[in-house]
Structure 1
């Protein structure tokens, strides 16, 4: 849609017609806006539904109470909050430029937004560390990584997300009513200082991204080495028959890691790199809202990567949709497929 069509489909009105200091609002109409609204709404529902399935599965079934699944649970809780609270508000902000939720929520919403996203990234880093230890030192994994230790690290990750983002909002003058700039009634604007944008870029993107890339690179190398060793043993055992051993495990590991890294970078680069080109970043700008959705969509694809491709997820979902989880002994049901 070009600029002329956009202007024709945009109707200038007032957020609060009965208030003389009301802001003007832009109501985006037209087929393109309807399609975008429908798509973003589906993304929000999709995010809530998938992450809720993961949370119920891991919380209910005892077999899934493992350190790795606790990290996936933490990730799903953060992503659920993004889909349940952050996305609907952003959809409203995209369709209607006015803020109807008052100054208190204007001060709290960016904090909730940044905390949930930071907690999601922190969980991704912890999952990468967990998988690194599991692959690099499998014999000692069960003694080094326990449910209690994992729970402690999850608490630390969420506490850090709360502490860091409260500090971030405080020093950008967006935490108290008196600090929020209001040019007119019905406006909620977050202006991020350029210096803090650099700090936030390093803390929330550069460092986690570097850790994830390095750990998954090591995991892939170890997986290749282990697959090569297994292939050598099998080749030696079947050499006299001339049987060719497939390297499917190595290929599967490569594809999985490639998907993890690609989707993480694809979802985060537009939001973190784009705003660095301006002096101040205003949260109400249409461009920032659009690139923010790349980051939010990461909360939709996370359960696809970390849970749906697990064999236990399909079984647990069947128990949930058939309401068998309401049976008295359902928490002890086996969710792992039996091997013949």
Structure 2
């Protein structure tokens, strides 16, 4: 790109022209950036729409009020926050480098971003534990895992996620307005210490993901043994249906976890290869968006795999959920 083209794509101004301490404003005006803005805005809207469908489906239809679906609901709420808050903020900062909402809003936005990411991971951990119990001990699953117990675990997962994020930003000097280092007015940049990147790698990625992968390896080994036992005793039809259902659920949620790992691994590998990372770095931007895309993929996986999601979406989009008895509709009961 020559100098003329570069000047055409980037117009340098000031975030707050009346302030002498204002940051320089870089507005991306090229056609490629406009197309990128439109595309990412559409991704944000689709993320909100699809996750709202999942949330309304599980919340409205009584048939879907199961412990496993509560975990999917928790995951969808976290993904909804990503599409509703995280993505729009990232889109605007991709086009306009200035932050106009002040220091407090900067802190709150970063906390929400971290909370949604960590809450997604805690939901995936609980999903792995839930599937492990369901497959390894299906006869006692309904008595050991109830909707009430799962609600408590979900609440604890979100509470711990918020606690971890607050501690994380406090030690990175990004929790209190007096802590934040601002080079100029109109900036919202997170500077992460390398030591905390390593701590985050262990607590946020290596340990939980290792637990998830170990549980799923056990799940599929147990599932294979159960499948052989069922084939040997074909007259136990009910066990066959139950086992097949649990195995299918485990495989489906295994895909969700695989996609999650695929989206997060590039970020950690790249961020640990440099001495410091800021929210304005190219690594943060590119792989940060890859992480966000994961929130759009999850409901698509449900739509492809789960018949109940497709059926409930039809009821929602056709406005049949406003019927008095809609909460008791049967959503393909033969698949449960």
Q: TM (normalized to structure 1)?
A: 0.89
What is the rounded CA distance, in whole Å, between the counterparts of 1:3 and 1:165 in structure 2? 42
Structure 2, unaligned stretches of length 5 or more? 235-243
Q: Equivalent residues in 2 for 1:295-306 (5 A)? A: 295-306=291-302
Deviations along 1:197-238, one digit per CA (max 9) or x if unpaired, are 11111111111211111111111222222223334455xxxx
Q: Which moved more, 1:54-63 or 1:36-45?
A: 36-45
Q: CA deviation at 1:132?
A: 1.0
2:314 aligned partner: 318
Pick from 283, 290, 297 the counterpart of residue 286 of structure 2.
290
Change (3 A) 1:326 1:178: same
What is the rounded CA distance, in whole Å, between the counterparts of 1:164 and 1:105 in structure 2? 19
Change (3 A) 1:201 1:81: same
Q: CA deviation at 1:304?
A: 2.5
Q: TM (normalized to structure 2)?
A: 0.90
1:50 aligned partner: 50
Change (3 A) 1:151 1:254: closer
The alignment status of 1:272 with 2:294, answered yes or no, reads no
2:220 aligned partner: 220
Q: CA deviation at 1:290?
A: 1.6
Change (3 A) 1:36 1:60: same
Change (3 A) 1:185 1:64: same
2:137 aligned partner: 137
The alignment yields a C-alpha RMSD, in angstroms, of: 2.5
Deviations along 1:68-113, one digit per CA (max 9) or x if unpaired, are 1111111111110111011100111111111111111111111111
1:336 aligned partner: 332
What is the rounded CA distance, in whole Å, between the counterparts of 1:96 and 1:183 in structure 2? 17
What is the rounded CA distance, in whole Å, between the counterparts of 1:306 and 1:140 in structure 2? 26
2:193 aligned partner: 193
Structure 1, unaligned stretches of length 5 or more? 235-247
The alignment status of 1:77 with 2:72, answered yes or no, reads no
What is the rounded CA distance, in whole Å, between the counterparts of 1:109 and 1:254 in structure 2? 34
What is the rounded CA distance, in whole Å, between the counterparts of 2:162 and 2:96 in structure 1? 29
Q: Is the 1:311–1:337 Cα contact (8 Å) retained in structure 2?
A: no
What is the rounded CA distance, in whole Å, between the counterparts of 2:91 and 2:214 in structure 1? 35
Pick from 247, 251, 256 the counterpart of residue 260 of structure 1.
256
Change (3 A) 1:251 1:69: closer
Change (3 A) 1:307 1:142: farther
Change (3 A) 1:2 1:79: farther
What is the rounded CA distance, in whole Å, between the counterparts of 1:16 and 1:270 in structure 2? 36
What is the rounded CA distance, in whole Å, between the counterparts of 1:322 and 1:280 in structure 2? 51
